[in-house]
Structure formats: C-alpha cells, structure tokens
Amino acid sequence: REAIIIDTDPGQDDAVALLLAFASTDRLDLRAITTVAGNVPVAQTTINALRIRDLGGADGVPVHAGAAGPLIFPLETAEFVCGPDGLAGTDLPEPRGAATPGHAVEAIIAICRAAPDDGITLCPLGPLTNLALAFRLAPDILPKVRRIVLMGGAIGLGNMTPAAEFNVHVDPHAAAIVLGCGRPIVMFGLGVTLQAIVGHEQVARIGALGTETGRAIHGMLTRPRPGGLGTAGHPMHDPCVIAFLIWPELFAGRDCFVEIETGAGPLRGRTTIDWNGRLKQPANAHVIGSVEAHALFERMIERLATLP
Ligand code: BDR
Ligand code: CA
C-alpha cells in the first residue's frame, strides 16, 4: 500500500477525490488530510474535509487545518464555481468531529520525518502553499517524499485566467518551490483533467447507487456551474490524482521541463510546459496528457459503490 497525504481545498472535485481514496484502502494508506485555502477560505475547506470524512466513514483519518492564504499574493477563492460553502449541490450536515490539533504543515513534516526514505506520496489537490512551507521549514523531509502527484497547471488555456489554472494561479510562488524541489512530480493539468468529464449516464448511475455518498456525489455533479468553463459536464480534476495512484495504466504523459510564472501580471500562474523538449532543459515533472475517461469512471463507480 502506498502511504499518502492528501492536501486539499474541498471543493466538489476534491470531495470526490477524497471519497475515492476512502474507497481504496486496499491500495492506499491515507495518513492524513491537510487543508488549505483555495476554492473557499481554509476554515471552510477544513469543515468540508470533515464533512466528507463523515460521509465516507473515514473516521480514523486525521484532518489538519493549514495555510489561510498564499505565500505572497492575497487569497483568491472560487465561490463562483463551487458555491458559497464550496460544496454546493450537497446538503451535508455539520461535521461530527473537529480538526486534529497541529497545523497542516507541522503534520506533513512529522509524518514525513517518521517515514522511511521514499516512504510518503504527497497528493496536493489545491494551491501548493502547505507543501512549499513544509519544504522550506524542513528540507530534511525531501528524501522521505517518494513522489508528489498534483493537480495544477495547464498546457493550453487556463481556467482562472486565460493564462493560468486555478491552483497555480492562486499561489504561483508555492508552485515554483514545489516544482523545484527535486523530488519526482506527476502533474495533472487541465490538458488531461478536462478530458475527465463524467457522462450523464454515469452520473445517473452514481445517483442510483442508493447510498448517501452516491446521493451527495450525484448532487455535486448535477448542480449548475455558472462560473465554470462551459464544459458539458463536471470535470473531475482532482480525482485524476487519486485514480492515477490506483490505475496508472489509464493515463499517459511525458517527462517535461515546467516553468511557473510568478509575476503579478496577466501571465501570473502560467505553467510553461515544454511538451516537445524545445528548451533542452532537464525535466522536472512527468506531465500527464491523456486519460481513458470512460474506463476511469467505470472503475471509479465500482469503488465508490462500496462506501456508505
Ligand atoms: C482546480 O481548481 C479547483 O477549483 C479544483 O478543485 C481543482 O483542484 C482546477 O483548476
Ligand atoms: Ca481542488
């Protein structure tokens, strides 16, 4: 089993990613959920992580609240896509428990320090602030990191701005630190995640599972997304990260040099991905370019069906 930490800003697609991880304990050893400001402020992403933990019956997994904003820029959130509480489309109750004491960054450091070399996989599904802080505060944990499998960036157009994908736009300085950390990185940008849009028939089947999780996911995937990119359905950006850990054979990519634009201008958060190797720079990420989407959702539904 691969030991992982999920760093997240739920968010509907983060929620589905968490649920997929809860349904995959045969393959994944989820050591902690750490939260960050992103889709909504961190107080709310923490509440949402706790609500999803209750929903999925993952009581034993600690949730640690993390960074309240990016390293340099003021926080920008995405209620215009996710709704005021970040989980529009659900009516999940308030969480049963509270977050575990200890800042997310401290938790990441402690879990990594206790692990053997190459012992922990980090799965960031939001702005990369917590990871960047952990790497700066405790560079000794880097050898403990087996790999970082992240959602962020875009080969082509962005979704937050024409240039940038949301997670990297919000905290480009953190993204630059993570991309430069020297550990293996697998990057899921919009080029692949916009291929991962669940079809209507599959969404209906999730709703018909007859479970609380099925009902909640159906609600999230059928609600209107006024601020979205106008895609025909709901892109499952963040679940791709978890799915890759379980079914890497469904994805294909290339080792690439990736550079992050940290300036405050219109290119802020742009990820320049040298897909064709024109710049002759050493690769710093394995960038995923395609997914077998139909098979992905068939397998996801099968797993999600096992949850309460
Ligand atoms: C990313 O931004 C967030 O809104 C989603 O949860 C995903 O992590 C997509 O750009
Ligand atoms: Ca997210």
The string of DSSP letters for 96-138 reads SS-PPSS-HHHHHHHHHHTSPTT-EEEEE-S-SHHHHHHHHH-
Place of tokens 């992905």: 296
Q: Is 39 in the pocket of ligand 1 (CB under 6 A)?
A: yes
Cα first-last separation, the chain: 22
235 alpha carbon, closest ligand: 1
pLDDT for residue 72: 98
Single-letter amino acid, residue 206: I
pLDDT for residue 91: 95
Give dist(CA 47, CA 9) in Å, integer.
Answer: 10
Residue 169 is among the residues annotated as catalytic for this protein: no
Cis omega (within 30 of 0) on the bond before 11?
A: yes
pLDDT for residue 117: 98
> In the chain, which ranges are continuous DSSP H helix?
12-22, 42-56, 79-82, 104-113, 129-137, 166-170, 172-179, 190-193, 200-207, 212-222, 239-246, 293-304
Predicted TM-score (pTM) of the model is 0.98
Angle between helices 12-22 and 212-222 (to 10 degrees): 150
Label residue 73 left, alpha or beta by phi (over 0 means left) and psi (-120 to 50 means alpha): beta
Cα-to-centroid distance, 280 and ligand 1 (Å): 30
Cα-to-centroid distance, 117 and ligand 2 (Å): 28
pLDDT for residue 228: 73
Give dist(CA 104, CA 7) in Å, integer.
Answer: 9
Give dist(CA 117, CA 207) in Å, integer.
Answer: 42
pLDDT for residue 225: 78
Residue ranges, the chain, pLDDT below 70: 230
8 alpha carbon, closest ligand: 2
pLDDT for residue 184: 98
pLDDT for residue 136: 98
pLDDT for residue 108: 99
Cα-to-centroid distance, 249 and ligand 1 (Å): 23
Single-letter amino acid, residue 97: G
